[in-house]
Every structure is written in C-alpha cells, then in structure tokens.
Amino acid sequence: MRSRGLAQRRKALGLLVLACLVCTGAGAGATLLIKSPAQVAADTAPPPPDILTAEVENRVISQALITRGKVTASQRTDISSGPRAGEDAGRSVVTKVTSAPGRKLTAGQVLLEVSGRPLFVLKGAVPAYRDLVPGKRGEDVAQLQSALHGSGHPTGNDLSGVFGPGTARALTSFYRSIGYEVPVTEAPGSVSPAEAPQPGASASPEAKPEEAPPRALPTFPMSEVVFVRSFPAFVEEVRTEVGDEAGENLLSLSSGELTVEGSVTPQEKGMIRVGQKVRIYSDTAGREYSGEVKSVALERATAEDDGGEESGEQRYTVEVTPSRPLPRKLNSENVQLTVVAASSRGKVLAVPSSAVSTGADGLTSVTERTGRKERRIPVTVGVSGDGYVEIIPRKGARLEAGARVVVGVQTRATAGRP
C-alpha cells in the first residue's frame, strides 16, 4: 500500500512539472507573437538618416557654358548658275562634271562644263560681276591679273587694273592651258563681213584702216569663273549631273581655314565675351582642340513649319577661331563647345554648391560637422562653377580646407524593407 501511494505521488509530480513546462513555452511564444503598440511603432519606424558631408577644398573654380557648334570653312560659295549658252548652243545644259564631294581644288581647275564651256575657280575676293575685255579698268581687272600671274601666266607690262595687251595674251595662254579657246567679243565699231569694202571698190578718204580696232577681242566672261578668297578650296556638294539644265544650285565650295559657329540664347549670351577661351570637342575623333571667341552677333531664327515667317525667337551666333588649324576631316561636323565664362584667380576655398544654404534669418552659411557635433559658419559666396562655389568665412568665423561640411542627408535602407 505504501509503495503504491508513493508511485502515485511521483506520477502527480511529473504531470505538474510537465504542465509548468508547457505553460512556460506558451508564454514565450506569446511574447513573440504579441507586441505592444510602442514596440510595433519602434519596429516600423524608419532608420535614422545618414548625414552626408563633403570636404572643404582649395581649388580653382571655373564657370563654363556648354553648347553645340558646327565646323565650317571661312568661305562657302554656292554656284547657282553656270555659263550661258554661246551662239552655237541651243540651250544651257551641263555637258561635263569634273568635281566630286571632298575634292581638293587649286587655282585654275575646271569644276564642270555647261554647253561645252568651262566653269573654273580662281583666287580673288571680288565676285565676278561683268565681262572683261581689253580697255577695261578697275579692281576686278587687277584681281584677274593677279590670278593669272598666280596660275603661271604673267601679264607683262600692263598697268595694274588696266586690261592691256599683256593681260590679253595671259588670258589666252590660261585658257589654252586648261584645254579651251579663249572667248572673243566683237569690238565696238568693227566692220562686219557684209559691211566690209568689196575688192575693187574705192575706199572712203576718211577711212584709216591702221586705226581701226581689232574685230575680235579676247574676253574674260563672268559666267565662266568662280572666285574664292584662298586655297586650298574643297568641293562640298555636287547637285547636278550631265544632261541637267544649268540653273540653280549646281554645286558648293568651301575655302579658307576652318572655324566653328555655335548658337546661344540671350540669357547665355551674357556669359560670353570676345576673347574668351573655348574648348572644342570632336565626338567622332575623340579629341579636344582649343580656340577663342571671335564674335557674338544677333541672329533671328525662323520656324521651319511656320510658313517661312520669322518665329521671333532671338538667338546669338558665336564664332570661334581655333588656336591651331583644325583637321579638314572635321569640316561640317557638329562639335561640343565649352566656353570658359569666368574663373577664380588661383585656388580658393570651395565647397559643393549643395553645402551652402540661406536660413530664415537671411544668413548664408555652411554647416561644419565634426564627429556628431555641428557648427553653423556664416560665409560670403564668390565664383561658382563645375558644381562648386567659392566661400569666404565672414569676420570672426573660421573654416579651413580639409574640414567636413554637410551637403545633405540619406535614409539608410533596412534589411527586408522595400
């Protein structure tokens, strides 16, 4: 009996211990599943933000304007009409094309033929505006004489600007050198074959045959020449072929050193002055060239889809002269222009632009951070550029290069939080 009662008491004690263990486990599980409102708020609150800082630097600050520009030759000549048909030609038509885009030209080269007559290129700044014959005088005559001499056909003893016998011989020689006969014009007052005295007829006592002008004068027709200011020249575009009517837009030439033209708005124009340095970057060549602003001139843009009427938008053309001649392969390329508009004189105390702020009291300042401590420092700002601004600590304030200033805050990401 006694042993049986002892066994029952032991069994009861085991059940009690087991019940205690179950209750303890249940309580621990409940604590994992059930949280107080304060704990829930603490667990879901965003993490404290990181304070972003940047170093105060001693550096040169430059203010730059970036725009696009096109590389062009200093002179572009569009040839809108060819030589007129001669007496033996029924119509003015292109009979030969000797030019191709990119062709390098020298003085005297023939570009094309119209109705069997040449169109060639010579050096000169004065456009051809009249036919020249012996006896003519003027600046255009002097230009022709210079061009002939430069092509290896000297004009002898003729006075500069006077079309005399030497110029006539040189012109004839030039035409023969390019494979054509020199054009001729009937001299004023010359006698036509129908009007010439017949054999046996008595001559008029007033006639003085030895003083009569020649019947045919060598002529330099304005329709057979294109003048460019300098060589080498290049064929930019050919818009005609054999059989076309000789009319508008036959071809275009470029000559002279390459320059760059950009375009800016009136607001940007205020940052640009003649003489400023410019960086010219070629995307295709991957190279940078230097230059300077030569001129800033007003242009007026027109809307393409506005029926040809001016849109009224004002822009300014910026002409840039390269410091050294640009490679010819850059002609007509669109390049990046960086105009250095302003620069600090040497190194200055500088911080990122985002470090400078203006408080409610109107005071401009930066915030220095050392460890967890922050100190507001009043400053005066100077030149800005490249994302930096010059700062000058106000009287009584101190800030040195190497210090850290606040530029912003960044929220830390929490693991498992989207």
| Residues 70/261, Cβ–Cβ less than 8 Å | yes
pLDDT the model gives residue 308: 47
pLDDT the model gives residue 192: 46
pLDDT the model gives residue 45: 56
Compute the average pLDDT of residues 151-175: 96
| Residues 302/311, Cβ–Cβ less than 8 Å | yes
Residue scoring higher pLDDT (166 or 4):
166
Residue 31's pLDDT band (cuts 50, 70, 90): low
Q: How far apart, in whole angstroms, are the C-alpha atoms of residue 82 and residue 79?
A: 8
Mean pLDDT is highest, among 78-82, 116-120, 199-203, for 116-120
User: What is the percent of the chain where pLDDT is above 90?
Assistant: 50
Residue 414 burial (C-beta neighbours within 10 Å; 0-12, 13-18, 19+): exposed
Q: How far apart, in whole angstroms, are the C-alpha atoms of residue 145 and residue 126?
A: 13
Enter the DSSP assignment of 170.
H
Place of tokens 């590389």: 71
Count of CA atoms in the C-beta half-sphere (13 A) of 263: 8
> With 80 as the cut, is the pLDDT of residue 64 above it?
yes
Compute the average pLDDT of residues 169-182: 97
> With 50 as the cut, is the pLDDT of residue 302 above it?
no
Q: How far apart, in whole angstroms, are the C-alpha atoms of residue 233 and residue 252?
A: 11
Compute the average pLDDT of residues 367-382: 92
User: What is the percent of the chain where pLDDT is above 70?
Assistant: 74
Mean per-residue pLDDT over the chain, rounded? 82
Compute the average pLDDT of residues 93-116: 92
pLDDT the model gives residue 281: 96
> With 90 as the cut, is the pLDDT of residue 356 above it?
yes
Residue 76's pLDDT band (cuts 50, 70, 90): confident
How far, rounded to the nearest angstrom, does the alpha carbon of residue 137 sit from its chain's CA centroid?
Answer: 42
- Rg (alpha carbons) of the chain, rounded to whole number: 44
pLDDT the model gives residue 368: 95
> With 80 as the cut, is the pLDDT of residue 211 above it?
no
Residue scoring higher pLDDT (46 or 357):
357
Q: How far apart, in whole angstroms, are the C-alpha atoms of residue 356 and residue 255?
A: 51
> With 70 as the cut, is the pLDDT of residue 334 above it?
yes
Q: How far apart, in whole angstroms, are the C-alpha atoms of residue 304 and residue 329?
A: 29
> With 60 as the cut, is the pLDDT of residue 201 above it?
no
Class of domain 64-71+258-302+312-343 as given by CATH: mainly beta
2-27 pLDDT tens trace: 556 666 666 766 666 666 666 666 55
pLDDT the model gives residue 415: 46
Q: pTM for this structure?
A: 0.55
Residue 259's pLDDT band (cuts 50, 70, 90): very high
Q: Which of 15-29, 50-64, 212-226, 277-291 is least confident?
A: 15-29
* C-beta neighbour count of 370 within 10 angstroms: 10
Q: Tell me the domain boundaries of the chain.
A: 2-44, 51-61+345-410, 64-71+258-302+312-343, 81-185+215-249
- Residue 199 token pair: 């054999």
Compute the average pLDDT of residues 105-118: 93
- Residue 4 token pair: 């049986």
Q: Which of 8-12, 51-55, 145-149, 300-304 is least confident?
A: 300-304
Written as one letter, the residue type at 79 is I
pLDDT the model gives residue 418: 45
Enter the DSSP assignment of 224.
G
Of 330, 335, 327, 332, whose CA–CA distance to 279 is shortest? 335
> With 80 as the cut, is the pLDDT of residue 130 above it?
yes
pLDDT the model gives residue 372: 87
Residue 326's pLDDT band (cuts 50, 70, 90): very high
| Residues 235/253, Cβ–Cβ less than 8 Å | yes
pLDDT the model gives residue 351: 95
- Taking CA 371 as the corner, what is the angle to CA 365 and CA 374, rounded to the nearest 5 degrees? 25
Residue scoring higher pLDDT (270 or 2):
270
Place of tokens 């080498």: 232
CATH 3.40.462.40 fits 51-61+345-410, yes or no: no
pLDDT the model gives residue 321: 94
Q: Is the dihedral of CA 285, 291, 294, 298 positive or negative?
A: positive
Of 52, 72, 88, whose CA–CA distance to 328 is shortest? 72
Identical fold, 51-61+345-410 and 64-71+258-302+312-343: no
